[in-house]
Every structure is written in structure tokens, then in C-alpha cells.
């Protein structure tokens, strides 16, 4: 039923599968709790890294989005068996295949390349530039190299001779990084070929990237995939993340053809926050939260704590301390009949639900500027640490400071169609069952 690059046709569109990272397999035998602790520790490091990056970017020029809109759909699946809770997709590059983590907070797509000085293990063969006739390194005096320096804040003061390749160095989370040269080659997305796609050919990479080949950069920057494909896709992409770690797939849709969506509620839109220092991030204004139908009151919504990043690569949603405390208090009040359990990693509000056949989970709704309201899927409210339900935690975390930027993570985005429309500078949300397979 599936081709080499998993895809299927629907409504005239080609759909590429979006999988949870689990689907690649890890081979590890650690316990559920040990796996969860490692994943959440990595998540906390990413949140800290994003906070450091938020203010460190200069003005990012908006891509020209006047081009005609087309559509490609990339299947997205879970990646939990690779010891992260990120989502991955398989694309073609230079005639080979690469399974990459989908990341809306990254400026650049990169894959591991031969010859590798230091590479993490990956399931697919390393990309070999010498085997691709369409591959070429990007010279350091090119506009692409300049754009990379602007996007990453790298200084461009060093001398550059024409033959020298443009080098890059990106760092993520806590010590994770990719270094190599900027190059261009043919990128294939569900049968749609992008000639001369600029990406990072990484020869020194480290971090919790599991068995993937690298990372798909979908951020708001000149070299991200969405900026480079404005002519094909009009600066619009969306995804639907499956809630199960295996046995189901969601989709990444490039382009604005809503006939490819399977949403069960109308799309509601909120404006992107435009901030010259926002870097590659997609920001919205979070104006309120309700728990079990009760609006949570907090001064944090109006004092800057409402400006939030919508991020595919962070797992747990993080709120400023004042907002989190109010949300936590309302959850504890509504779940008062259940015994509390010890905290777990970054999750400080846990319950012992052992032996209970049914638990009424309070609904969690997020309200955004312009009146958009989004209900979190019921499986995105609580995080089950122990298989026997002796430790089930509220799947939200507190940031360190009121000055930090809230992040809406992928655990709270399951079973939603999330639409990033850079042309109209808005983000849309709709309920959608993401179990495509």
C-alpha cells in the first residue's frame, strides 16, 4: 500500500506520512519510567535552549508569498522508540532517502553526510555527496551563506575566498549540535521535486536525534524549507500529529489546499505575533486557559506571559509560573478525590489512579487572540508515567521566570490540524483525528 517514500493520494494531493519517532525502533530495554525521565530531561533542556534563543535573533525578512499555491503532503509519525517524543518524516535528497525530525523552531534542514567526523547512529545509509550528480557545496560568498549568518546570528566578518565552502554550526538543546557545510541538491517531497534546495551537510553531529538522518527546519527564516519553497507551496504548511506512538500516522501538508485536511471542526485562526527579534519561531498570543469549563484567572496572561511559541519539537507545554500555578490549582481542585503521587521529572502534579477503570479527565482549552479557542485532546492532558497508573501527571510544566516565553508543545497538539500560514501571518487550529494508517 505504501511506496518507498510513504505516500498516498487524496483529493488530488500526495500525502507523505508523519510518524512518531517510536516507529524507527531503539532496541533499548530500559523501563517505561527510565525512558520517560530521559525524554523529559531532554525536553527541559530544549525549553531552556529556546529561552536563550528567543532574544538572540535579528530581523528575519518575511518570504515573498505571492506565488501560486501548490500542495504536497508528507506523512508524519511518532518517534518514541528513538527515545524522543518527536515526529519524523521521510524525504528524498539527492536520490537517497532521509528520515528527519520535523522542527518548526529550526532555521535549516540538515542531514548527516559522508565522510563523518562524528555522527550519531542512523537507520538509513549516510548521505554520500559524491554519489549525487546534482550535489554542490554553497560558496561562502553567496547570498545563501549570508542568509545563514543572519538567521543564526553568526558573524560574517571573516574573509571569504570564492572557492571556500560555506560552513555552518547549529546548536540545539543542551549541547546537541550539527556542523558541516552548506550545500544544495534535489529535495523530493511526495513526488514534488525542489531543485537546488539548500541544506546542511553535517559531518559532525551529536545529540538525542535517535536513528534519524537529521532535521527538517520549518522555522521562519530565509533558508527554512517553507521559505525555500514559497514558489511551490505559497508559504503555508500544516500538520496533524498522531496521538499513538505506533500503529498510526499523521500528515505534514505543504501548501494551503484544505481539501487534504480531515478536520471535524471549523478552522479557527489567530494572528502570528510579529516581533523583529522572534527569530525562526512561530508566536501567538495566548489570552486564556480553561480547565473543566472553568476559566483560569492569572495576571500572567496580560503581563507578557501570553506570548507563546507553537513548537513541534518541544513535548510538554510550558507556562510562566503565575499562569501555571493557577492552572495547576484548578486541576488539583477538580481532581481532589484522587490521591496525589510524587512528582516526576519536570511534571510536579501527579496522581495515583491505580485500579480505577474510569477517570473523568477535566477538559483543557486554550484561548488565543481574536477569539480562537482550541480544546486539547484528552490524551494530551495527562502524562502516564507508570503502566499501572500509579503515577499519572498533569502534562504541563512551569517556566523558571515570568519573563520566559511560554511554549505550546506537541503533547498538547495531538489530533489537531495546526496550520502555519506565513503569507497571511496567522496560525489555524481544528480538531482532526490523525490516525491515517
Active site residues: 103, 311
Task: List Cα–Cα distances, 302 to 192, 306, 368, in angstroms.
Answer: 44, 7, 12
- Cell numbers for 254: 505543504
Q: What angle do CA 254, 199, 241 make, to 5 degrees?
A: 35
Residue 224: half-sphere exposure toward Cβ, Cα within 13 Å: 31
8 A C-beta contact, residue 125 and residue 213: no
Cis peptide before 115 (omega within 30 of 0): yes
Residues in the chain: 437
Q: What angle do CA 19, 361, 316 make, to 5 degrees?
A: 45
Q: What's the burial of 268, exposed, middle or buried (CB within 10 Å: 0-12/13-18/19+)?
A: middle
8 A C-beta contact, residue 101 and residue 22: no
* Chain center to CA of 407: 11
8 A C-beta contact, residue 308 and residue 320: no
Helix (H) or strand (E) holding 109: none
Give the list of residues 6+ apart from residue 340 with CB closer than 8 angstroms, or none: 332, 349, 350, 351, 352
Amino acid at each position: 500500500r505504501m511506496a518507498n517514500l510513504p505516500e498516498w493520494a487524496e483529493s488530488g494531493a500526495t500525502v507523505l506520512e508523519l510518524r512518531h519517532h517510536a516507529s524507527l525502533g531503539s532496541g533499548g530495554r530500559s523501563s517505561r519510567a527510565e525512558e520517560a525521565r530521559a525524554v523529559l530531561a531532554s525536553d527541559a533542556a530544549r525549553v531552556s535552549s529556546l529561552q536563550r534563543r528567543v532574544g538572540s535573533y535579528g530581523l528575519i525578512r518575511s518570504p515573498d508569498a505571492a506565488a501560486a499555491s501548490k500542495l504536497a503532503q508528507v506523512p508524519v509519525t511518532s518517534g518514541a522508540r528513538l527515545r524522543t517524543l518527536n515526529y519524523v518524516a521521510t524525504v528524498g535528497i539527492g536520490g537517497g532517502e532521509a528520515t528527519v525530525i520535523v522542527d518548526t523552531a529550526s532555521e535549516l534542514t540538515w542531514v548527516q553526510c559522508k565522510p563523518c567526523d562524528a555522527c550519531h547512529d542512523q537507520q538509513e545509509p549516510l548521505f554520500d555527496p559524491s554519489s549525487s550528480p546534482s550535489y554542490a557545496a554553497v560558496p561562502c560568498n553567496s547570498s545563501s551563506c549570508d542568509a545563514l549568518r543572519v538567521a543564526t546570528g553568526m558573524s560574517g566578518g571573516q574573509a571569504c575566498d570564492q572557492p571556500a565552502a560555506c560552513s555552518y554550526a547549529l546548536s540545539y538543546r543542551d549541547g546537541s549540535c550539527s556542523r558541516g557545510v552548506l550545500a544544495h541538491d534535489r529535495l523530493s517531497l511526495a513526488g514534488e521535486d525542489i531543485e537546488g534546495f539548500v541544506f546542511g551537510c553535517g559531518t559532525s553531529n551529536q545529540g538525542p536525534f535517535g536513528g534519524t538522518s537529521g532535521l527538517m527546519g520549518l522555522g521562519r527564516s530565509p533558508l527554512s524549507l517553507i521559505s525555500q519553497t514559497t514558489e511551490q507551496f505559497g508559504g503555508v504548511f500544516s500538520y496533524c500529529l498522531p496521538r499513538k506512538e505506533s500503529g498510526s500516522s499523521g500528515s505534514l501538508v505543504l501548501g494551503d489546499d484544505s481539501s487534504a485536511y480531515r478536520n471535524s471542526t471549523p478552522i479557527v485562526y489567530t494572528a502570528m505575533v510579529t516581533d523583529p527579534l522572534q527569530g525562526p519561531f512561530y508566536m501567538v498570543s495566548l489570552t486564556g486557559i480553561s480547565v473543566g469549563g472553568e476559566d483560569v484567572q492569572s495576571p500572567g496572561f496580560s503581563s507578557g506571559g501570553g506570548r507563546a511559541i507553537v513548537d513541534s519539537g518541544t513535548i510538554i507545554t510550558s507556562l510562566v509560573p503565575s499562569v501555571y500555578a493557577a492552572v495547576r490549582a484548578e486541576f488539583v481542585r477538580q481532581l481532589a478525590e484522587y490521591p496525589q503521587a510524587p512528582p516526576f521529572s519536570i511534571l510536579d502534579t501527579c496522581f495515583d489512579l491505580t485500579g480505577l477503570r474510569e477517570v473523568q479527565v477535566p477538559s483543557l482549552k486554550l484561548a488565543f487572540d481574536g477569539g480562537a479557542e482550541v480544546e486539547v485532546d484528552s490524551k494530551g492532558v495527562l502524562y502516564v508515567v507508570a503502566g499501572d497508573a500509579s503515577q499519572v501527571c498533569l502534562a504541563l510544566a512551569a517556566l523558571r521566570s515570568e519573563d520566559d516565553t511560554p511554549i505550546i508543545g506537541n503533547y498538547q497538539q495531538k489530533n489537531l490540524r495546526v496550520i502555519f500560514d506565513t503569507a497571511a501571518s496567522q496560525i489555524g487550529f481544528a480538531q482532526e483525528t490523525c490516525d491515517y494508517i
